[in-house]
Amino acid sequence: MSKQPTLVSQHISKAFTSGQITHQVIKDSSLQIYPAELTLVVGPSGSGKSTMLAMLSGLLRPDSGHVRALDTDLWSLDDHAIDLFRLQHCGFIFQGFNLFGALTALENVILPLQYLQLHGDTARRRAQDALAEVGLASRMHLRPFELSGGEKQRVAIARALVKHPQLMFADEPTSALDGTNGQIVIDLLKRIAREHNATVLGVTHDPRLFSHADRVITLEDGIVVNDEHRSKFKAPIGDIIEHPHE
């Protein structure tokens, strides 16, 4: 039996207006995104990648069209319900890491669990497991200033993973990293998709990452111009545990 898409957009569009000028960023786009795959939306700066991701993840309301996420008509929900949906089902990874400098890696990862009413030993164990999964079991008591850029992004991935989300969204997750650490991060996202049966959708303009994705969707001027499954090009998943200080 073929797997069903967990994230579907139907004819979504988005424009932004500044003064008397309106710029159409996304134009009548429809996509189906599947679980257990790492899907990348790629294209040059200004092509609409981040806007697309924001609409698919419940962060930005489209001007028209529909987004179905886990069989929920996302933009038919009110703001509170959308916030709750993101909390319960979505993990987010950003290019700037967005870690709290005063907290340890472990405390940063525990933080979202508090909003899910998980506390104490239960939250601590889940956070420890998430950090171990990204290869940082021995670094969990360090604060962000004591970690490398690659380690900070892996803490951010653990923070997204700790909620056991069915949907994970990554906005330029490797743009602040060198090539080696970028590959570690992208391979880790692919591993999470496989092992957790998660739908992992990222945007990037870095062509070095394309061959590591299962599927590459190319966006130009707000329009999908190519959609390619890249199974035959997949690179092997590296063992990130062997690089604890990358």
| Residues 25-43: tens digit of each pLDDT | 999 999 999 999 999 999 8
CA distances 89 to 7, 70, 105, 108, 230, Å, are 12, 9, 22, 19, 27
200: which strand partners?
38, 168
Q: What is the pLDDT of residue 209?
A: 82
Q: What is the mean pLDDT of residues 210-221?
A: 92
Q: What is the pLDDT of residue 245?
A: 39
| Residues 160-197: tens digit of each pLDDT | 999 999 999 999 999 888 888 988 999 999 999 999 99
| Residues 67-100: tens digit of each pLDDT | 999 999 999 999 999 999 999 999 999 888 999 9
Other CB atoms within a 10 A radius of the CB of residue 71 amount to: 8
Q: 52: helix, coil or strand?
A: helix
Higher pLDDT: 99 or 231? It is: 99
CB 127 within 8 Å of CB 113: yes
CATH number for the domain formed by residue range(s) 34-64+78-242: 3.40.50.300
What pTM, to 2 d.p., does this model score?
0.89
